[in-house]
């Protein structure tokens, strides 16, 4: 069982050969404008390597969650335009997935050129639960490559999906692991297989239920587990504190109590905020108050106050713990970083990772968007993942379809 890499494909020869690449161009848009092009930038090196070696590159990608039919709101056009601006090669665009436009443009593709197909999820077979439907789409995609095509998976953000362009196509064409996917897997192995100690895990985001399996799996490996974001209020409630109108998953309180109890047994220390920034409403212009975490309803807003960030005392404590780490993994913002009044906790964590001499990993999704929005450079961190959900599922110990299908 071995995984064939991009280097293996180049060695096999790609000059004049069609190569289907699954890229991750799933970027945020605002009125048709790309607001964070991190994933687009990350997709370029693998495409560039193939272009330089004379491949005829056909890119498959998705954007958002269209309901299996064309929807202009989810067109890949803005992402493709941005790719064309950033890349040192020209990019063509087909306005359908496997229709007339795709077939005609693919047939006319020159060596060393790149064609991006329209949003793969515009075809309902891409995400179908029916194996035969997905396989039929995979066969049509493979037909675009003639009789000697290859497939490269370079979309780490989609490897946890059993979709036609991720899983089934790898059973039709000779399949290879792209450099981006390879790098992501190596980083995640470093986080799960004998990580250098002390190992600090920082978790935020809105819901503790989204992170239960990650907490379960990393608790036995981490020395410190720092918790912020909306999920922290379930932890505070588990300690008997009142949290006002803050986000609370009451059905997870007992689970959290169990984690807090078991952490001591496995030698992991949970570090929770000691102060919280509370607001009178969820808005950029909200009135704010900073109060102790165990006295949130003593704020000026009483029981109607909403916790929207960790406080400055907590931010300092989190930074100190991060500074101890030789391995640091961070997933999830500490507060509503999109509003400046509630961005300080997230900014402090990002700064601490930047200042750390340890190996720091920003776990994709909102965390990656936050560091870029707050003005940090990707070079400030050991690694910024392109796959939030995929990273978490890997860290949960799950088998990811897009990876297992390559291991053959």
Token pair, residue 103, equals: 């077939």
Asked if residue 211 belongs to a known ligand binding site, the reply is yes
Fill in the DSSP letter of residue 407: B
Asked if residue 39 belongs to a known ligand binding site, the reply is yes
Asked if residue 71 belongs to a known ligand binding site, the reply is no
Alpha-carbon span 360 to 319, nearest angstrom = 13
- The active-site residue out of 365, 387, 388, 402 is 365
Asked if residue 326 belongs to a known ligand binding site, the reply is no
Asked if residue 25 belongs to a known ligand binding site, the reply is yes
Alpha-carbon span 199 to 217, nearest angstrom = 13
Asked if residue 17 belongs to a known ligand binding site, the reply is no
Asked if residue 375 belongs to a known ligand binding site, the reply is no
Buried b (16+ CB within 10 A) or exposed e, 194-217: ebeebbbbbbbbbebebbbebbeb
Asked if residue 24 belongs to a known ligand binding site, the reply is yes
Measured distance between the N- and C-terminal CA atoms of the chain, rounded to whole angstroms: 5
Asked if residue 358 belongs to a known ligand binding site, the reply is no
Query: Phi and psi (nearest 5°) for 167?
Result: -105, -60
Asked if residue 251 belongs to a known ligand binding site, the reply is no
| Contact indicator for 78, 33 with CB cutoff of 8 Å | yes
State yes or no: is 389 an active-site residue: yes
The set of long-range contacts for 282-288, using a CB threshold of 8 Å and a minimum separation of 24, is 282/306, 282/308, 282/336, 283/339, 284/339, 284/340, 284/341, 286/339, 286/341, 288/341, 288/342
Token pair, residue 302, equals: 């009483």
- The active-site residue out of 77, 207, 281, 326 is 207
Q: Which pairing describes strands 175-177 and 199-203: parallel, antiparallel, or unpaired?
A: unpaired
Alpha-carbon span 330 to 360, nearest angstrom = 8
Asked if residue 63 belongs to a known ligand binding site, the reply is yes
State yes or no: is 207 an active-site residue: yes
Asked if residue 65 belongs to a known ligand binding site, the reply is yes
| Contact indicator for 114, 51 with CB cutoff of 8 Å | yes
State yes or no: is 67 an active-site residue: no
Asked if residue 64 belongs to a known ligand binding site, the reply is yes
| Contact indicator for 295, 311 with CB cutoff of 8 Å | no
Q: Which residues pair with 56 in a beta bridge?
A: 18, 113
Asked if residue 182 belongs to a known ligand binding site, the reply is no
- The active-site residue out of 22, 39, 125, 162 is 39
Alpha-carbon span 363 to 368, nearest angstrom = 7
Alpha-carbon span 244 to 7, nearest angstrom = 55
State yes or no: is 147 an active-site residue: no
Asked if residue 26 belongs to a known ligand binding site, the reply is yes
Q: Which residue ranges are tagged as binding site? A: 24-26, 39, 62-65, 121, 161, 211, 307, 338, 364-367
Which residues are the active-site residues?
39, 207, 365, 389
Residue positions forming the annotated binding site for (2R)-3-phosphoglycerate: 39, 121, 161
What residue numbers does the annotated binding site for substrate cover?
24-26, 39, 62-65, 121, 161
Give the residue ranges of the annotated binding site for ATP. 211, 307, 338, 364-367
């Amino acid at each position: 069982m071995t995984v064939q890499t991009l280097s293996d494909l180049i060695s096999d020869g790609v000059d004049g050969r069609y190569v289907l690449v699954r890229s991750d161009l799933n970027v945020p848009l605002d009125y048709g404008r790309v607001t964070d092009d991190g994933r687009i930038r990350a997709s370029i090196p693998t495409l560039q390597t193939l272009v330089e070696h004379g491949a005829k590159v056909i890119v498959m990608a998705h954007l958002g969650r269209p309901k299996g039919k064309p929807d202009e709101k989810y067109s890949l056009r803005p992402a493709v335009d941005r790719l064309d601006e950033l890349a040192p090669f020209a990019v063509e665009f087909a306005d359908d997935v496997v229709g007339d436009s795709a077939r005609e443009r693919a047939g006319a593709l020159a060596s060393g050129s790149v064609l991006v197909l329209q949003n793969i999820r515009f075809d309902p077979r891409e995400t179908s639960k029916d194996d035969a439907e997905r396989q039929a789409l995979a066969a049509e995609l493979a037909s675009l490559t003639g009789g000697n095509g290859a497939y490269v998976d370079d979309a780490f953000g989609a490897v946890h999906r059993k979709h036609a362009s991720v899983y089934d196509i790898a059973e039709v064409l000779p399949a290879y692991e792209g450099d981006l996917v390879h790098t992501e897997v190596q980083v995640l192995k470093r986080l799960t297989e004998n990580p250098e100690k002390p190992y600090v895990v920082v978790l935020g985001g809105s819901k503790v239920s989204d992170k239960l399996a990650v907490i379960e799996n990393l608790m036995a490996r981490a020395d410190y587990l720092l918790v912020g974001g909306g999920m922290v209020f379930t932890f505070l409630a588990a300690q008997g504190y009142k949290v006002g109108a803050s986000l609370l998953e009451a059905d997870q309180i007992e689970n959290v109590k169990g984690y807090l109890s078991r952490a001591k047994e496995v030698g992991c220390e949970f570090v929770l905020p000691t102060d919280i920034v509370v607001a009178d409403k969820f808005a950029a212009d909200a009135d704010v108050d900073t109060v102790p975490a165990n006295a949130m309803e003593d704020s000026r807003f009483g029981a109607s106050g909403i916790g929207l960030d960790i406080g400055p005392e907590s931010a300092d404590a989190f930074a100190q713990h991060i500074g101890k780490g030789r391995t640091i993994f961070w997933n999830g913002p500490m507060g509503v970083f999109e509003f400046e009044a509630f961005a300080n906790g997230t900014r402090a964590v990002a700064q601490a990772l930047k200042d750390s001499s340890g190996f720091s990993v920003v776990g994709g999704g909102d965390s990656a968007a936050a560091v870029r929005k707050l003005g940090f450079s990707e070079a400030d961190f050991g690694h910024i993942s392109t796959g939030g959900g995929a990273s978490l599922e890997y860290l949960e110990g799950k088998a990811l379809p897009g990876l297992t299908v390559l291991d053959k």
